[in-house]
Amino acid sequence: MSLDGTYDDGNIFAKILRGEMPSARVFEDEHVYAFMDVFPQARGHTLVIPKHSQARNLLEEDPQVLAPLILGVQRVARAVRAALKPDGLVITQFNGQPAGQTVFHLHFHIIPRWEGVALGRHAGGGMADPAELKDLAAQISAMIA
Ligand code: AMP
């Protein structure tokens, strides 16, 4: 899907928000939902999405939704840092299939990085163990300030 198109509420993140698909929940408030990426590029790879949005990408988002979303991203990133003590953090976001986007509900990736540990492939690695994701989600959740 290119930058042009319409929001499909059958996308996987919309299903997660409606409780139709499971997720390892890290955090939520009235604006945002954070959960573990099931094909993590690194241990602790976390996604943050707006709860009330039909934006497929950053360009489409209402500024009133974007403001609390980015604050949520910062809050969760701080918790990832506190919980997992990475050497660095990648915070990224893809717009349109040619740019690498695979799920068309706006989201931010928070990816911890450690010196000497290679980054996994985007949306192309193996599926994580659900029990491990649940444990990581609990560790990060405990550090939300
Ligand atoms: P993007 O390619 O930027 O659209 O990112 C979509 C991300 O969602 C990828 O990193 C996928 O690994 C991840 N993903 C796909 N399905 C699920 C799911 N059911 N639960 C959690 N993460 C998912």
User: Could you list the mean pLDDT of each consecutive 10-residue stretch along the chain, which spans 145 residues?
Assistant: 91 98 98 98 98 98 98 98 98 96 98 96 88 98 98
The predicted model scores a pTM of: 0.98
CA distance between the termini of the chain = 37
Q: Is the CB of 111 under 6 A from ligand 1?
A: no
Q: Is the CB of 58 under 6 A from ligand 1?
A: no
Neighbouring residues of 52: CB distance < 8 A, sequence distance ≥ 6 = 31, 65
Check if the beta carbon of residue 111 is closer than 8 Å to that of residue 42.
Answer: yes
Q: Is the CB of 57 under 6 A from ligand 1?
A: no
Alpha helices per DSSP H over the chain: 12-17, 63-84, 130-141
Q: Per CATH, is 12-141 categorized as 3.30.428.10?
A: yes
How far apart are alpha carbons 93 and 4 in whole angstroms? 17
Determine whether 109 is an active site residue.
no
**Which atom of ligand 1 is nearest to 12's Cα?**
19
**Which atom of ligand 1 is nearest to 94's Cα?**
3
Domain coordinates of the chain in residue numbers?
A: 12-141
**pLDDT of amino acid 123:** 80
**pLDDT of amino acid 127:** 94
